[in-house]
Copies of this chain bind each other. A is one copy, B any other.
Amino acid sequence: MSPQKGLKLKQLHIDTYREPIIYMHSKCAVCRAEGFQSLGRIQVTYGGKSVIATLNKIDGDLLHDDEMSLSDYAWKILDAREGGVAYVSHPQPVLSLSHVRSKIYGNRLDKLALRSIIDDLVAYRYSDIEIASFVTACAGDHLDLNEIIDLTSSMVEVGHRIDWPYDMVVDKHCVGGLPGNRTTPIVVAIAAAYGLVMPKTSSRAITSPAGTADMMEVLTTVDLDIATIRRVVEREQGCVVWGGSTSLSPADDILIRVERVLDLDSEGQLVASILSKKLAAGSSHVLIDMPVGPTAKVRSLSMADKLGGYLKTVGHQLGLNVSIYLSDGSQPIGRGIGPALEARDVVAVLQNDPSAPQDLRNHALNLAEKILRFSPSVKPHEGLLTARDILNSGRAWTKFQSICDAQGGMRDICPARYTHTITAPLRGRVMEIDNRRIARVAKLAGAPTDKEAGVDLHKHLGSQVEEGEPIYTIHANSLGAIDYALAYIEDQAPILRIDG
């Protein structure tokens, strides 16, 4: 221990995402005396809580030399208050980093080693650079099956696990989503209408124009606490809520952010990420929807086989029944891109509207079949018939409305204030749709922040079009956003390629 001197906390409101940063003045006496260097790691203690943060030095007048600030993330972890006095010191060495080094040198890690890494991760003792090193050391097939099992169980142990008073709790997960692939609300409605318990937590968009939680939020409230989720599920057997407010796998929340930056999710980490969240959510049976296609996350059937095998084996070891459904990942599903437009498609399917997108309806029915087959009371050949019957009879739509009521009331879908339709420049056939760029147009129009904004796709691959026929429509809440999207479109080769 070195002599500690306090520094006054000043909030600068800097969002570094999940990296805890401490800001100190370069002339700060404590900083100089302790020999803290920029990018050095510093233990910050305030009111009984503590976090290890990376130092950024400030040279101007943002801070006095007897003040410090913290990034939003560190500020929240410490529950810091403006003007409060915090203390800084050199942190104890993070011992589990020796296990990371051991993994880099190709050694197997046992449960104790993996657990100590995960413990230090969730205690915010790893810097981003150290997290990146761990993620890299595990990637490239460097985790064997036992390591994946131990990593997954460690991630479950450090989080909060929901216990349900039901023998069977079903769940689904899609590996690497497709644009518009909003099967979840339909599948939950069918499963819950049948009587299965399906408490579904979904994510918001990270880089896409909408996540399932964003889409669902058009129709009802999704940020519920665990007590409210329990009440909804007790009454309706199902829910579709945002998983972020519950933090089911805090270790995964920390790892996944760095994996995403590195565009590295190795099989081991993918399995641990998916299953730790499902185990924490208290699921007993999980269906994994795995779209396979050249531009999907799972690119080949052999990769799908290997990943599916890991998911089943690790799940089995940890008491989770895992079923895999391989689907076509070569093109988007549905028409709307953006929260409200996707919600419209989902409601159309649930209402058996004849104009509803049939690809979305069929994919949802296939998944619902697999979910129903988890139930011992559904005979193998009856799954699809049962699912179709629940949907066609309107029972799924009734159940969906009840779920929305229980989550806080069902809302109407509002249209966007402005639309602009793009028409075909020639007669011909749609040969190519650039999904990445169509998603970008939806984002430039305002999605997902503006729920009503997005793109409505009128034509799919192979469609025959006449010159001047609408091919897609931009929806936005301001003319500026329409202009912004149009400027992007004009700057590009056509997003739908039509061969005459």
On A, residues with C-beta under 8 Å from B are 1-3, 11-19, 23, 26, 32-33, 35, 37-39, 56-60, 62, 71-72, 97, 101, 104-106, 127-133, 135-137, 139-141, 206-207, 257-258, 261-264, 440, 443-444, 449, 481, 484, 487-488, 491
Contact = CB atoms under 8 A, between A and B. Distances in A.
B15 A140 contact: no
A264 B491 contact: no
Nearest to A128: B129
Contacts of A11: 60
A101 to B, nearest CB: 7
Number of copies: 2
Given A3-B488, A104-B264, A487-B3, A15 B133 contact: no
A262 B13 contact: no
Nearest to A105: B140
Given A12-B62, A13-B58, A261 B39 contact: yes
B39 A16 contact: yes
* Chain B CB within 10 Å, residue with most, of A3, A26, A72, A106: A3
9 contacts: A3-B487, A13-B58, A14-B57, A14-B58, A32-B449, A35-B443, A37-B207, A128-B129, A136-B136
Contacts of A131: 129
B206 A37 contact: yes
Contacts of A37: 17, 206-207
* Chain B CB within 10 Å, residue with most, of A57, A97, A129, A491: A129
B444 A56 contact: no
A136 to B, nearest CB: 4
Contacts of A136: 104, 132-133, 136-137
Contacts of A128: 128-129, 132
Contacts of A264: 101, 104, 133
Nearest to A62: B12
Nearest to A129: B132
Given A2-B444, A133-B262, A488-B2, A39 B17 contact: yes
Contact of A484 (B1, B3, B58, B487): B3
Contacts of A105: 139-141
* Chain B CB within 10 Å, residue with most, of A33, A257, A488, A491: A33
A472 to B, nearest CB: 18
Given A104-B264, A140-B105, A491-B1, A59 B130 contact: no
